[in-house]
Amino acid sequence: MDYILETRGLVKKFGELRALDGVDIRVPRGMVTLLIGPNGSGKTTFINVVTGVYRPDAGRIYFEGEDITELPPHERFRRGLVRSFQVPRLFTGLTVTENTAFARYGNPGEGVVSGLFRRLWEGFERETVKKAFRLLDFTKLKHLWNHRPGELSGGQMKLLEIARSMMPDNPRLILMDEPTSGVFPALAHEIFRYIRRLREEYGLTFLIVEHRLDIAVEYADYAYAMAWGKVVAEGKPHEVLEHPKVIESYLGG
């Protein structure tokens, strides 16, 4: 099989705690892969290490065959690695529209000189704002387009996170950290259906950390289960769910 992302022996320590303890995860290209596990099993830490927010203490990360372990986060993004945050990290001073529009990288107007010349970036910017409104429409946030994140409910902030992670132009792998927590079930299904559609139409790859297994499982192609900083099972989503180690870890072994 062809893998877009591969980690080898990833270790991340917080003091004595080994949040990641030799994690080998391979994300198959063009599929929706789930990453499940109880709280504190290291899922979010894994995403943070892969996107460069944290530096690993050991191990390597390969993206499209390239070793990206030492790259800063913005360089990883520019290679097509996009993520959303579990606890929304929105720009509090920016409106909902601006939060979404900012996520599209490559605006020629982002310079202290080029910003002055409207004709250099107006076309790109109009497209950006259009795309932002479409995503806001999809995530049912359009009526709040001119509000600040502080005026949104927790669920709406999550949705804005989702809209933002779908904004970049050429993503290859989208890492979503609990996209549907705090979102009502009908919309959660719709989000997963949209993810499937992106996968089908654009061949995008997804790695999704999720607790809402009842919903997520039917949309996923592959799954990894983590516990205590280690991968304890992998395979077809239904098989992973029934794996004795997974059941044990969820029930608190």
Partner 1 sequence: MEWWIFSDAFLITLFSFITVSISLNLEAGYTGIPNFGKHLFVFVGAFAAQGVGVRIAALIYEKLQPQAAQEALAQLRSMVPGATWSSLVHAAADVDANRIVVNNYLRPFFVSHVAAEALLLVTLLLVTVGLALFFGLIASYAALRLREEYLAILLLSFAELMVLVVFYQSQSLNGGNQGLWAITFTKDPVRFALVGSGVLAVIAYFYADRLANSPMGRAMRAVRDDEVAAEVFGRDIASIRLKVILISSVLAGLAGFFFIQNAALSTSLTFNRVIWTFLPWAMIILGGMANNLGAVVGTVVFLLAKRLFEYYQVQIAHLFHLGSASIAATLLPNIFIGVVMILTLYFLPQGILPEGPSRTVNFEEILAETSSEAGEAGGEESK
Token representation of residue 165: 């992670």
Residues 17-56 that bind partner 1 (CB under 8 A): 51-53
Rule CB under 8 A: say whether 64 interacts with partner 1.
Answer: no
Cα–Cα distance for residue pair 253/247, rounded to 1 Å: 9
CA distances from 243 to 152, 226, 235 (A): 39, 12, 10
If you count them, how many residues does the chain have? Answer: 253
Which CB atom, from 72 or from 252, has the smaller least distance to partner 1? Answer: 72
**Buried-exposed string 85-114: b where 16+ CB fall within 10 A, e elsewhere:** bbebebeeeebbbbbbbbbbeebebeeeee
Among 129, 198, 213, 215, binds partner 1 (CB under 8 A): 129
Please work out the total of residues on this chain that contact partner 1, with binding judged by CB under 8 A.
47
- How does strand 26-28 pair with strand 17-23? unpaired
Among 9, 55, 87, 146, binds partner 1 (CB under 8 A): 146
Interface segment toward partner 1; rule CB under 8 A; list 141-149, 177-185, 228-236, 241-249: 141-149
> Of 168, 3, 12, 178, whose CA–CA distance to 87 is shortest?
178
Minimal distance, residue 88 CB to partner 1, in Å: 9
Rule CB under 8 A: say whether 62 interacts with partner 1.
Answer: no
The site for partner 1 (CB under 8 A) is made up of 51-53, 72-74, 77-78, 83, 85, 89-95, 97-98, 101-103, 105-107, 109-112, 114-116, 118, 121-122, 125-126, 129-130, 133-134, 137, 142, 145-146, 164, 168
